[in-house]
Structure 1
Amino acid sequence: MSIMTTPPPTTCYDLIVLGSGAGGLATAVTAAYFGLKVVVLEKAEVVGGTSAWSGGWLWVPGNPLAQQAGIQETIAEPLAYLSSQLGLAADNPKIRRFLEVAPAMVEFFQTHTAVRFIDGNQIPDFYPVAGSARGGRSVCAAAFDGRELGAAIKDLRPPLSVISLAGMGIASGQDLRHFYQASRSLASAYYVLKRLGKHAWDLLRYQRSMQLVNGNALVARLLKSALDQGVEYHTQVQVLELVKHGERISGVKITAQGQTQILFAKQAVVLATGGFPHDLARQAQWFRPENGRQHYSAAPNTNTGDGIQFAEQLGAQLSNFVQAGAWSPVSLVPTRRGELLHFPHLIDRAKPGIIAVLPNGQRFVSEADSYHEFMTQLFKATPAAQEPYCWLIADHRAQRRWGLGWAKPFPFPLYPYLKSGYLKRANSLQDLAAQCGIDANQLTATLKTFNADALQGRDNQFQRGESPYNRIQGDPEHTPNPCLAPLTQAPFYAVKLVAGSLGTFAGITTNENAQVLNSKQQIIEGLFAVGNDMASIFQGHYPSGGITLGPAMTFGYVIGCTLANQALTPSS
């Protein structure tokens, strides 16, 4: 049931969930499956939050899909990897709870709901250290036909516009590979033409894509599951405050379409409002000075820290970390309306023929490292009191092959990107440097060294392309190093990268059941937190892709099972 402009007609539920991302919906679906009456309240006009714009990947060591493929491991192995990244912080009951329960979560959703996953058995962890895996710890939402949602499809947040193709999402892996190969392979060209033809028909008939992939498919599958289980959801609902009865949270005060009312929760309220990527005051308080004063998040602008504010008002303990954000480089995309959209650079940095340099013309990191590590090194390399930024540079061959951020590859024309000022172009490195304010002599020297090494398939400065994660981000058909090619073919192109994020890590302190704790480490009865409202169990570290959605859905499952008095794992 969806009522977009009126308050919910029922005033009493077993469970009230604030926020409709993967964490909130996973909580709602689990609780409803076990018989609870659940409502999901969403502030935005659409459902899905940041999850609907994500890659749809979950980090789940020991997941059933990996086991079916013969990849077996105990929790000791991912724990060893986390220890190499987190140190003593890996000895955390919430991490152990996650590792123990996450595989059961995947099995539950695969067996009892409309959620389906594909394996990530070839996806390595970010860092090649003790305990890391070359694959088998990731799953991703399977593609979904949006028509299965019926009328509810209008409530689903569309894919992020700047990384979609006229509103059509492109999945990582084989789907994306076909698009890159469309001008080089007849089979890929046929595949792409079929996808585009289907998309054109969808736009004509439904005014949006029905070929849902990535996080859009994950949210759509969770929404379908919620509808199947009788979960109510309501958009455009502003929560004003949480209601207490004695020491227990017993409901919420809301306003919708000018009407104010109280909804009561017999068992609990769950905070799942997406963290604080657009809460400027909390960013100023929690982000470190070296991260810069400007922050451009790729998360929806409705994620303004509401859940964290509600918890703080109730005396909840909040946790901040050295790295409070899930950092990602972004470029600023101008629109005709005068606003700037934020393009997250997750893939292009690793491709052959592309490098990143500081204003001084020097490289500072392996461009093929994770987005979070890329930004961490940029922060370190930026002089104090200067806003962190760098330039992503490609030669003509690389830009036409891979694109450069929002500036799409061949056969898309470059004129719109050049006219808007988003993409810089010059026939020489010296002229490009002048346009971008880069030290021209140092840029020339950097490229001379880089190109000589790239011809030999090595990066003597940062060892780009040597780790499993680096290599899978590159071009598997390019030898001898899938991540390296010299930049030699003019004209040359550049896009400015600034500090951004995919979300936030700092947040509400919880126990291993996702119950909110106060400053005395006592449970605030009737209050849970999940997703990016819940302080990351990895405490500001980013060990692998999917470490946001994996815990979000796992602890959503934990909450649902806990409230319904259900076992978390089949053997427990």
Structure 2
Amino acid sequence: MTGVWDEECDVLVVGSGGGALTGAYTAAREGLHVIVVEATDRFGGTTAYSGGGLWFPCNAVLRRAGATDTIEDAKTYFHAVVGDRTPRELQDAFVDTGAPLVDYLESDDAFAFMVYPWPDYFGSAPKASPTGRHIMPEPLEPARLGALRDALRPPLGTDRAGHPLPDVVRGGQALIGRLLLALTERSADLRRETVCDEFVRDGDTVTGAVVTGPDGRYRIRARRGVLVASGGFERNAEMRARYGVPGDARDAMGPEGNLGRAIQAGIDAGAATDLMTEAWWSPGITHPDGTSTFSLWFTGGIFVDDDGERFVNESWPYDRIGRVIIERMAAGRLTLPYWMIYDDRDGPRPPVRSTSVPLGDTRAYEDAGLWLSANTLEELAGRIGVPAGALAETVKRFNAFAEAGEDEDFRRGDEPYDRAFAGDGGPLVPIETGPFHAAAFGLSDLGTKGGLRTDATARVLDTSGRVIKGLYAAGNSMAAVSGTAYPGGGNPIGACMVFAHLAALDMAGR
């Protein structure tokens, strides 16, 4: 009974991350009545946990800082990295729209951005930028948010480790905060603890959705359309298993509400999907509670596999490392945990400066058998279960590379990103000062990246390639524009915002 509705709006937005709220903001600014439904008790999605970086080539913020990049160069880079895994028109829509979206947002006093240099992730690809195409939101004082801060998903250190809220609202927190401020000024209807798991389809058109909130289940008619931007399904163990996504739901960095319910609703409504085995991967340091969390900024150390041998450039961008880990696991050469080997120059704590969830006391990791130490490499090899001779030879070979300043095996240090966190000494830090240490690592992810297939205006396609009118998708609910690659920092949130913005503009023009 498609004609029976409990309430109506112009645009229904499912989710509340950076993309969802950008779509909601655009629709509201264009004069449409917007309802946002968020499944959990906090707004912000995975964006609220993130650094808030945005990969938007040639935008005004970069231009004001003196950048001379061109859209043609940015497209050359993006096409080279992504290849033909996704439609070229989809790729171009992303690259072309970032800068105009920044202009659109900056015309509202609620938004302010700053340059944050972050090299592109494939530094040897044509037209890669050594300083990146990356901006992030300006921080906010908590007082400006007022009561909205209580509705904002806290950062990971607070949410998972119980740390106090920071004194300043930064990164993804600031992006969500600014979007919430702008939306409240435009009287958007923002609802929490409201789950959307069913779309209403009338012929070739989605006309609304069925949601469940604190007061029960009800039907919302969406006159212009429904935008699905509720994240991926990384926290849904059954769905991961169904599609063969490597890794474990507990090691994903998305909020617990990222269960893929709206993606499944789209599938039930006839939508096509793509990239359903994929995620934004990362090595993850393992904590005493058994979780392995997204980790980067390694100032030393090497990774070894079950044979006690190096298998990757440890200073590569995290997704590139994650993909090698998955390949090694599939080949039977690596089991979890694998180990980072490092020396005692900075003590027993591993040379990892960003672990998403802050590290706890050293003793807790040692007692859990996650950080091991020994006076010799041979003894350490026995403790982590790899061949003693192989580990000693691996370290000897790496130390020779460090002395020569050239990694002949994996080219660590050759690309700008490799050197971004290394300081003046570079990333080739020898392992020579005993006692020697090993830290356990697993496979983490920032979320799945498979979802509903769309065209270049974010309209969802059915299994025959036809547009399902009234249904749109963005972010990790959409099959990622970047395919199986991760071109640069800020690509996930940037793409989510772009396609949500395009979806809202399309709905405004209907």
Task: Decide: shared fold, TM above 0.5.
Answer: yes
- For 2:3, the equivalent position in structure 1 comes to none
Deviation at 1:365, TM superposition (A): 0.8
Compared CA separation, residues 511 and 553, structure 1 to 2 (3 A): same
Please give the alpha-carbon distance, in whole angstroms, between the structure 1 residues aligned to 2:118 and 2:249.
36
> Is this contact kept in 2: 1:30–1:557, CA < 8 A?
yes
> In structure 1, how many angstroms separate the alpha carbons of the residues matched to 2:47 and 2:355?
24
In 2, are the aligned partners of 1:36 and 1:564 still within 8 Å (CA)? yes
The question of 1:364 aligning with 2:306 is answered: no
Which structure 1 residue ranges, 5 or more long, are not aligned?
1-9, 168-202, 567-572
Structure 1 residue 307 displacement after superposition: 1.8
Could you tell me which amino acid in structure 2 is paired with residue 562 of structure 1? D
Q: 1:555 to 1:292 in 2, by over 3 A?
A: closer
- 1:333 correspondence with 2:333: no
1:550 aligns with 2:494: yes
Q: Hey, what does 1:277 align to over in structure 2?
A: 234
* Within-5 A mapping of 1:41-120: 41-89=37-85, 92-120=88-116
SS of structure 2 residue aligned to 1:13? strand
Aligned to 1:133: 129
Say if 1:293 and 1:50 are closer, same or farther in 2 by CA, change over 3 A. closer
Provide the rounded CA distance (Å) in 2 between the counterparts of 1:120 and 1:399: 31
Give 1:388 deviation, angstroms: 5.3
Q: Look up the match of 2:377.
A: 429
Offset at 1:141?
2.0
Quote the offset at 1:113 in angstroms.
4.9
Residue 394 of structure 1 deviates from its aligned partner by 2.0
* In 1: Cα distance, 2:162 partner to 2:432 partner: 32
- Whether the 8 Å CA contact 1:407–1:414 is kept in 2: the answer is no
From 239, 252, 261, give the equivalent of 1:297. 252
Paired residue for 2:404? 456
- Is the counterpart of residue 230 in structure 1 residue 187 in structure 2? yes
- Quote the Cα distance in structure 1 between the aligned partners of 2:432 and 2:159: 27
Q: Residues 21-420 of structure 1: matches in 2 within 5 Å? A: 21-89=17-85, 92-121=88-117, 123-161=119-157, 167=163, 203=164, 208-287=165-244, 291=246, 296-320=251-275, 324-335=278-289, 340-348=290-298, 351=299, 353-382=300-329, 384=331, 387=335, 389-398=337-346, 403-404=351-352, 414-420=362-368
Aligned AA (1:215): G
In structure 2, distance between residues paired with 1:163 and 1:441: 43
Residue identity matched to 1:484: L
Per the TM alignment, residue 278 of structure 1 is displaced from its structure 2 partner at its CA by 2.0
Deviations 1:225-266 (A, max 9, x none): 222221221111122422234542222222222522222212
Is the Cα–Cα contact under 8 Å of residues 143 and 212 in structure 1 kept in the other structure?
A: yes
For residues 404 and 417 of structure 1, do their structure 2 counterparts lie closer, same or farther at Cα, with a shift above 3 Å needed?
A: farther
Q: Which moved more, 1:431-440 or 1:81-90?
A: 81-90
Contact 1:115 1:141 in 2 (8 A): yes
* Distance of 1:227 and 1:292 partners within structure 2: 38
Q: Is the 8 A contact 1:144 1:211 kept in 2?
A: yes
Inter-CA distance 294–45: structure 2 relative to 1 (3 Å threshold): closer
RMSD: 2.8
Is 1:525 the counterpart of 2:466? The answer is: no
Alpha-carbon spacing, 1:43–1:122, altered in 2? closer, same or farther (3 Å): closer
Aligned letter for 2:31?
G
Query: Match for residue 3 of structure 1?
Result: none
Cα offset for 1:471? Answer: 0.8
The percent identity for this pair of structures is 29
TM-score of the two chains, using structure 1 as the length reference: 0.82
Does the 8 Å CA contact 2:304/2:310 hold for their aligned counterparts?
Answer: yes
Q: Normalising to structure 2: TM-score of the pair?
A: 0.91
What SS class does the counterpart of residue 397 from structure 1 fall into? coil
CA change 1:453–1:138 in 2 (3 A) is same
Contact 2:459/2:468, CA 8 A, preserved across alignment: yes
Structure 2 CA distance for aligned equivalents of residues 59 and 537 of structure 1: 13
Q: Which runs of 5+ in 2 are unaligned?
A: 1-5
Question: In structure 2, how many angstroms separate the alpha carbons of the residues matched to 1:98 and 1:548?
Answer: 11
Matched residue, 1:508: 452
Shift of 1:306: 1.2
How far 1:83 moved relative to its partner? 2.8
- Is 2:81–2:122's contact at 8 Å kept on the other side of the alignment? no
Q: 1:540 aligns with which of 458, 466, 484?
A: 484
SS of the equivalent of 2:107 reads: helix
Task: Tell me how far apart the structure 1 counterparts of residues 122 and 182 of structure 2 sit (CA, whole Å).
Answer: 32
